[in-house]
Amino acid sequence: MHRIMLQKLWHKKWMNLCLLLGCILLIATVVSFPLYQTAAYDRMLQDEFRSYVAEEGRWPAMNSFSIVSKKERSGETISRMEGLMGKIYGDLGVTEKETIFYYTLSGANIHSALNRKDAENISLRLGSLSGLGEHVKMLSGEMYSETGMTEDGCIEVVMTQSAMVSMKLLVGETLVFNDLRDAEGKEIRLYVKGVFDAVSERDDYWQVKPEDLSSSVLMDRELFRSMFTGEKAGKYTVSCRYYALFDYEDIKATQVEHLIQATDDLTERGAYSGTADKPAYRSILGEYAKKQERIRVTLMILQIPVLIMLGAFLFMISGQMYEMERNEISVIKSRGSSGAQIFRLYLYQCAVLTLAGGALGIPLGTVFSRILGAARSFLEFDSLKGLTLTFTREVWIYAAAAMLITLFIMTLPAMKHSRVTIVKLKQQKALKRKSWWEKIFLDFILLGISLYGYYSFHKNGSVLGESVLQGDSLDPLLYISSSLFIVGLGLLFLRLQPYLVQLIYMAGKRFWRPASYASFMENTKNGRKQQFIMLFLIITISLGMYHATVARTILQNSYNNAAYMQGADIMVQEVWYAVVDTGSFTGEYAEPDYSKYAAMDFAENYARVRIETSAYVQTKENGRQDVTVMGIHTRDFGNVTWVDYDLNGRHYYEYLNDLAVNPTGVLVSDNFRTKLGYQVGDKLTYALENTGTPVKGPGRSTEGKIVGFFSYWPGYAPFVTETNPDGTVTTRENMLVVTHYNTMKQTFGVKPYQVWIDLKESADSSDAYAWFQNSGIRLTKYVDKAAELKKTMEDPLLQGTNGVLTMGFLVTILLCAVGYLIYWIMSIRSREMMFGVLRACGMHKGELIHMLLNEQIFSGVFSVIAGIGIGKLASGMFVPILQRAYAATDQVLPMNLVVNASDMVRLYSVIAGVMFLCLVVLIILIFKLNVTKALKLGEE
């Protein structure tokens, strides 16, 4: 049996190679999916953590607990908590970074042993902070010693500088508690040993901030434990805080589920839930998990067509192979071999192919996933980035499933054939019919379904957008609709193609040379045989077109949106200091030196922009409308910002000119007109919200004359979409008043503003960053447009979508090429004798090639053209709906269908390359055709 099988494999080696290729590609594609995803999720998770750190400046991966042990004789609570701290990292499955124990005795009064007048009765807290020594530098004196006690039994303590100042203590002083006694009833004395300062305040160790220690002195932890907690100490009330910090960099996407579970067990359900604070990382993980699910489902849906096509390819090739072996099978069958025997033979054969496919496909999958990770846009790659691939259990499950499915698809046709005897075969061959799908009008059915889908999605577009904002993934029905549309139109084209060829034949009936005539006849009578490969080609190309447009549109819209929302290349805001007048805040600030910005050698232009988000407008009906007020220098602002003409339907500078010539003018967003009924020329009264601080001098509100309405303005979002705690989404209108900076200054006083910077052509954002680093300017805000755009482009959803679509196209076009070649090689082989006859009748090779070229045009070129047309149509119809599925909550610009010429050029060149290659192979085949040899085929 095994020898027969190997012989069979060798005998049909080309077919089997094609099958193997199909197996490899299918398995590789399937495997690349979880591989890529895990890597992408890891990156995404780390990004989430990093952006939290960047925005909040705090270590997110931390659990904290607080308890108070009230006069507990045993100190059991404290021991339990310390026990918890010992095993928490293991429970969560994370790596410990820092564990901090902070104990304090409740405040107690002391007096100085020196009997100083100025420090008679001080209230302080005695505490201990674990690991203190490693994170401080001593400003004066020394750190407490190993034993924590002086030789004469005083507790050594250290404190911060601010504590020393506020409590007026001296280094070297001895303090005595007024009414606090130790376990044996003796008085407790403290010896001030030193003053410390944090080595670095940014150190994540400082969960208890040095500034929170201004009424505390700290002693050795061990000593504290032995004196105030535990067996002997039953009369103290100790407040305890525990901090467990762990490394988030080690957390893998696969751990997230467990980590969430373990965290919830700890902080919400377990014995310690009452003592635990809600950890910051929990919401990061929660957000991540939601996002991850959306990406996972979306990418999976996008992969389905490719997988189906891979399956169809395998089915086609194996079917083709059985077709070739039909006679053989039916002869064996008629001679008494059982169906099961034949089936087993094929099963073994397919199993060998599948195993080989797995062995080669799984490594190829890693290559695929790297390609996925490198896709910047459709068929466009960045240099291969270091995606850290891990073979998780999921990968192996996917691989095993892919192999089983491959095996099933390949052996499926064998089941059919193992039942066919030679008699049935002859009967079958005699029947020539229309394709089954033509008879049941599958093309019309599919088109009907997809158009219904299109219609209902089109009608309910806003609902779709909303569900996406609520975190839903791409609606599979929508994507299926578009795919069915493509398949349906492809089939319809196949139905019409013979008539089209007939039409061309009729049109030039009198002029066709013999070769063309023969090819017309071939197509009319034999065209149906190529339907499968034509459909494959049409679907590949139209899906390719469609996907190219989807990828480009989504990417471009996100990019444009991000670019628009950022307003200028760099936006910074300095730290402003309030003017404090005899202890009270006047609401005025001291304006930092603005002229220093002139030294920014990387900047082409810069402008100050003041934005007040807490403002309102006194409306005509005497109501209040919350607005945002923006104060600008028209000229400077115009130099650093830009709004496309299309967005407002008017040149951006015209707005700025209108404002510039009118000192009391305001530009307002369009909703003032649509919602509040304002007209150009109307007066508008706007004011800042009462922020609780008195404003000196200038008045609190002012009046402006409306000089223009705009729909879009740099950094302005007409709508803000907010997700409510219950998961629903509300859309709020944003109203913006743009006025002169000077008007704002006169009316509302001097308050912090931002500086918007336009980079020089020759400079980039790193120059700006370096400049600010060196300038010593303290910033509270630094927004870098380039970085924001990069972040947008690297969004795993966009990036993964591009990757999946590109990979899908490359895989299917490869299959197309192989399928196409197989079809044509088989077609030429089966007609070898006929070519011989034609040659004998005096046709030369040129004519034969001409004939085959014609056939290629009727099948290949027609399919390509149909594919392009169908792709364009599908893009035009479905992309505008589909892209809503990708709309971010902050999508404010109208979304446009984007077709990038260079994308199409890339697509066409891949197709042209593949077609050319096929043609070359076919022509070589024809030239190798030996006429006399061909004729002899008819002899024996």
In the bound state with another protein, the residue whose beta carbon lies nearer, of 186 and 429, is 429
3-state secondary structure of 869: helix
The least CB distance from residue 524 to another protein, in Å, is 7
Max Cα distance, the chain (Å) = 130
In the bound state with another protein, the residue whose beta carbon lies nearer, of 767 and 847, is 847
In the bound state with another protein, the residue whose beta carbon lies nearer, of 633 and 845, is 845
Contact by Cβ (8 Å): 48, 287: yes
In the bound state with another protein, the residue whose beta carbon lies nearer, of 921 and 931, is 931
Which of the 8 DSSP states describes residue 591? P
The least CB distance from residue 10 to another protein, in Å, is 21
The least CB distance from residue 498 to another protein, in Å, is 12
In the bound state with another protein, the residue whose beta carbon lies nearer, of 95 and 526, is 526
Cβ burial of 1 (10 Å; 0-12, 13-18, 19+) is exposed
Tokens 């053209």 correspond to what residue? 865
The C-alpha atoms of residue 864 and residue 859 are separated, in whole angstroms, by 9
Give the angle 271-277-281 at the CA atoms, nearest 5°: 110
Query: CB-based contacts of 713: which residues, under 8 Å, 6+ apart?
Result: 630, 643, 667, 669, 736, 738
Cβ burial of 935 (10 Å; 0-12, 13-18, 19+) is middle
The least CB distance from residue 464 to another protein, in Å, is 50
Strand partners, 732: 720
3-state secondary structure of 20: helix
Tokens of 361: 């496909």
The least CB distance from residue 932 to another protein, in Å, is 6
In the bound state with another protein, the residue whose beta carbon lies nearer, of 199 and 840, is 840
Contact by Cβ (8 Å): 883, 801: no
In the bound state with another protein, the residue whose beta carbon lies nearer, of 316 and 843, is 843
The least CB distance from residue 311 to another protein, in Å, is 32
In the bound state with another protein, the residue whose beta carbon lies nearer, of 3 and 429, is 429
Contact by Cβ (8 Å): 754, 732: no
In the bound state with another protein, the residue whose beta carbon lies nearer, of 93 and 527, is 527
The C-alpha atoms of residue 813 and residue 310 are separated, in whole angstroms, by 11
Give the DSSP H/E element, type plus range, for residue 13: helix 13-56
List phi, psi (to 5°) of 754: -100, 160
The C-alpha atoms of residue 503 and residue 389 are separated, in whole angstroms, by 55
In the bound state with another protein, the residue whose beta carbon lies nearer, of 745 and 845, is 845
Tokens of 128: 């201990």
In the bound state with another protein, the residue whose beta carbon lies nearer, of 473 and 523, is 523
In the bound state with another protein, the residue whose beta carbon lies nearer, of 199 and 521, is 521
The least CB distance from residue 940 to another protein, in Å, is 8
Tokens 């009936």 correspond to what residue? 509
The least CB distance from residue 379 to another protein, in Å, is 39
The separation between the first and the last C-alpha atoms of the chain, rounded to the nearest angstrom, is 31
In the bound state with another protein, the residue whose beta carbon lies nearer, of 499 and 577, is 499
The least CB distance from residue 509 to another protein, in Å, is 8
Secondary structure E strands in 683-802: 683-688, 701-710, 719-723, 729-733, 736-740, 754-759, 779-784
Give the angle 62-163-779 at the CA atoms, nearest 5°: 60
3-state secondary structure 226-268: HHHCCCCCCCCEEEEEEEEEECCCCCCHHHHHHHHHHHHHHHH
The least CB distance from residue 535 to another protein, in Å, is 22
Contact by Cβ (8 Å): 562, 789: yes
The least CB distance from residue 824 to another protein, in Å, is 16
In the bound state with another protein, the residue whose beta carbon lies nearer, of 834 and 929, is 834
Q: Please give the residue ranges that form the binding site for another protein (CB under 8 A).
A: 510, 513-514, 517-518, 521-522, 524-526, 833-834, 837-844, 931-932, 935-939
- Rounded to 10 degrees, the C-alpha dihedral 501/503/506/507 comes to -110
The C-alpha atoms of residue 56 and residue 50 are separated, in whole angstroms, by 10
Tokens of 415: 């089941």
Q: Minimal CA–CA distance to 680: which of 662, 692, 695, 702?
A: 662
Contact by Cβ (8 Å): 314, 22: yes
In the bound state with another protein, the residue whose beta carbon lies nearer, of 296 and 326, is 326
The least CB distance from residue 852 to another protein, in Å, is 14
The least CB distance from residue 836 to another protein, in Å, is 8
The least CB distance from residue 423 to another protein, in Å, is 19
The least CB distance from residue 11 to another protein, in Å, is 21
